[in-house]
Amino acid sequence: MIPDSELSDPAVRALVAAINANDHDAFRAALTDDATMSDDGSDRNLDDWSEREIFSSHGRMDVESESDGGRSLVARFTNDTWGAMRTAWRFTVTDGRISRFDTGQA
């Protein structure tokens, strides 16, 4: 596993650290105001999805590998709803913050 603090891209590092700390404010700070996301190929409402999949269900990412300068991750994502699953994450970074991420089972 790659510790949060050793992830290559600073914006991705901030978002993963916020998820793992269950820190909603830090999560939002890592994103642009108009950030978007998709889960398993379908666009989702970012606020609803993050509340359900991360914050209220204690989501956590254990990063297995990174590529594309740290903007693509494979991680074991665990939450109280679904348990653990191997997931892929792709991030678009704009001006040092994440403007979009796409996730799904790996």
Across the chain, what does the average pLDDT equal? 97
**pLDDT tens digit sequence for 9-24:** 999 999 999 999 999 9
CA distances from residue 71 to 79, 92, 96 in whole angstroms, order as listed: 22, 7, 12
Instruction: Provide the pLDDT for residue 105.
Output: 92
70 band by pLDDT with thresholds 50, 70 and 90:
very high
Mean pLDDT of 83-94: 97
Instruction: Provide the pLDDT for residue 6.
Output: 97
Instruction: Provide the pLDDT for residue 56.
Output: 97
Instruction: Provide the pLDDT for residue 23.
Output: 98
Instruction: Provide the pLDDT for residue 80.
Output: 96
Of the candidates 59, 49, 52, the residue with the CA atom closest to the CA atom of residue 23: 59
Mean pLDDT of 33-47: 97
CA distance 5 to 15: 11
Kindly list the structural domains of the chain, giving each domain's residue range(s) and its CATH number in brackets, ordered by start: 4-105 (3.10.450.50)
Instruction: Provide the pLDDT for residue 43.
Output: 98
